[in-house]
Structure 1
Amino acid sequence: MNIDLNSDLGESLGAWRMGDDTAMLDIVTSANVACGFHAGDPAGILATLKAAGQRGVAVGAHVSYPDLVGFGRRNMDIASADLVADVVYQIGALQGLAGAAGTRVRYVKPHGALYNTIAHDERQARDVITAIRAVDPGLALVVLAGSPLERWAADAGLRVVAEAFADRGYTPQGTLVSRREKGAVLHDAQAVAARMLRLVQEGVVEAVDGSLARVRADSICVHGDSPGAVAMAASVRRTLEAAGVALRPFCGAAEVAR
């Protein structure tokens, strides 16, 4: 058994510090790096990319709606031409910084409201797919496990990486509990780690009502901005490795090294 462990990084902005990228990069196998639209400044993003490259951590473009004030978590009805251009712009910016840092962008993972919207909104989903294919059709797309986006992206020829969330609550239908509702964000590191081990071994996650939701995932995300994120990610990694689960980038360690 093997699984990828990812986190959202590069989200500090000027004097506002978000998470502990250095510590998290010693734990995760893939880093979703902010591109400046929801968080992150060029110098901080570059530093995170350099640190990721030094550790052999795969790098992905964490693209977002243009929403610094709302941290990319506000829904937006953006025209297709604008959304395609926004995503192209963000991937291109991160590619430039990654090249300067001695690494490469291997995948795209949308952030926040954009991530949740394109999981089910076909128009915006196809805009994001179009943007990725325009920049580099070899880039993988990280998507919410079990969402319609898995099929839309695969049909368009993209490599699809299904993702589960360690620190988020699930509904009985296998979707994420809204952040506005009780049980949306989980904080018990040991309980979260046990949940993720069961996910890898059995393909199920306990939902908020106690039922079991079936979730098939290639990668597990621990949000870098959550309280205790580093301790939670470390607990997940220790628990998985103790059970014989190998932690490695979904794109492959050999590919990251190139």
Structure 2
Amino acid sequence: MPLPKIVIVASSFGIESVIKQGHATLVPLAVAAGADGIEIRRELFHDAVCHSVDALQALAKTLNSQQLLAVYSAPTPLFLDDGALNLDALSDLLREAEALNASSLKLQLGHFAGDVDVSALRATLAASNVALLVENGQLQTGGRIADFTNFFAICSMAKLPVGMTFDIGNWIWAGEDPLRAAQQLTPYVHYIHCKGVEGEGMRRFAAAPNEDTLAYWRKCLAVLPKTVPRGIEYPLPDQGIGPAAKQHVAQLRSV
């Protein structure tokens, strides 16, 4: 069985650094760490020029020169506060993801109210060759297991090409059990985010895994698909510069 590809989420290299210096500066760091790709975070672009077609195509060329895959991530919800699909934003983001030559576009679920305009979503997705993934968030809204099981049941029945980014740490933020979520949602998972969680309540933060965290990841990953990409989403030591980043990539690949 092939080993999973490891993607490093851009914020793991230091949010302020990425905003100031740009995503292209992460390419040699990701290569040195032995990663297979970078998750490009739209919220870390310092101005609108960065997500123009020309800028994204230039970034795609830089990534491709080192054979790194791109995941395109935006904090945008698929469903608006009134439960309607956020189709205009989805169309725009899919076009940006295409310019980046991204393998997938990752969004938040948002305010899923139990219904999906299947025809409208199908038409929007058919206009792009980029896969749409929805991620469980850190809040109850967009972070409940029941919402995801209901949403994907509709997608499955309608044969909508939508997958899931399964964030192990975010389930804890939202007060849900990651292992139970894995048992119910595995058929839909196309990408896995891995981060440790420290602190309580509003003072929780992402952290590198300790032995207890790694043991729990193993339980979840034993249930989840074995070969889908895994993303590092916690602060890397020394902002990803040096041998420690390579150790974290190797560790996640082998968990």
What TM-score bracket applies, with the shorter chain setting the length? 0.5 to 0.7
Which residue is 2:130 aligned to? 139
Which residue is 1:107 aligned to? 104
- Identity across aligned pairs (percent)? 9
Q: Is the 8 A contact 1:107 1:140 kept in 2?
A: yes
- Alignment of 1:181 onto 2:201: yes
TM-score w.r.t. structure 1 length?
A: 0.56
The one-letter amino acid paired with 1:223 is E
Kindly state the Cα deviation for residue 84 of structure 1 after the two structures are TM-superposed. 0.4
TM-score w.r.t. structure 2 length?
A: 0.56
The one-letter amino acid paired with 2:220 is L
Q: Distance in 2 between the 1:47 and 1:196 partners?
A: 36
- Alignment of 1:24 onto 2:30: yes
From the superposition, tell whether residues 131 and 125 of structure 1 become closer, same or farther in structure 2 (CA, over 3 Å): same
From the superposition, tell whether residues 16 and 196 of structure 1 become closer, same or farther in structure 2 (CA, over 3 Å): same
Structure 1 unmatched runs, 5+: 66-71, 99-103, 204-214, 246-258
Q: Distance in 2 between the 1:129 and 1:54 partners?
A: 34
The one-letter amino acid paired with 2:96 is A
Q: Is the 8 A contact 2:69 2:103 kept in 1?
A: yes
Q: Is the 8 A contact 2:8 2:231 kept in 1?
A: yes
Match of 1:117 among 98, 110, 114: 110
The one-letter amino acid paired with 2:64 is G
Q: Is the 8 A contact 1:52 1:58 kept in 2?
A: yes
Kindly state the Cα deviation for residue 182 of structure 1 after the two structures are TM-superposed. 5.8
Which residue is 2:81 aligned to? 77
If each structure's helix is expressed as a fraction of its own residues, which one has the higher value?
Answer: 2
Which residue is 1:150 aligned to? 152
Which residue is 1:6 aligned to? 7
- Count of aligned pairs: 207
Classify the secondary structure of the residue corresponding to 1:53: helix
Q: Is the 8 A contact 1:169 1:186 kept in 2?
A: no
Alignment of 1:1-258 (within 5 A): 1=1, 2-9=3-10, 16-17=20-21, 21-22=26-27, 23-24=29-30, 26-35=33-42, 38-40=43-45, 41=47, 42-43=49-50, 45-46=56-57, 48-65=59-76, 77=81, 80=84, 83-96=86-99, 98=100, 104-110=101-107, 115-117=108-110, 120-123=112-115, 129-130=121-122, 132-136=124-128, 138-144=129-135, 147-148=148-149, 149-165=151-167, 168=170, 170=172, 171-174=175-178, 181=201, 184-191=204-211, 192-193=213-214, 195-200=216-221, 202-203=222-223, 218-223=228-233, 226=235, 228=237, 230=240, 234-241=246-253, 243=254
Which residue is 2:189 aligned to? none
From the superposition, tell whether residues 165 and 235 of structure 1 become closer, same or farther in structure 2 (CA, over 3 Å): farther
Classify the secondary structure of the residue corresponding to 1:154: helix
Structure 2 unmatched runs, 5+: 137-144, 182-194
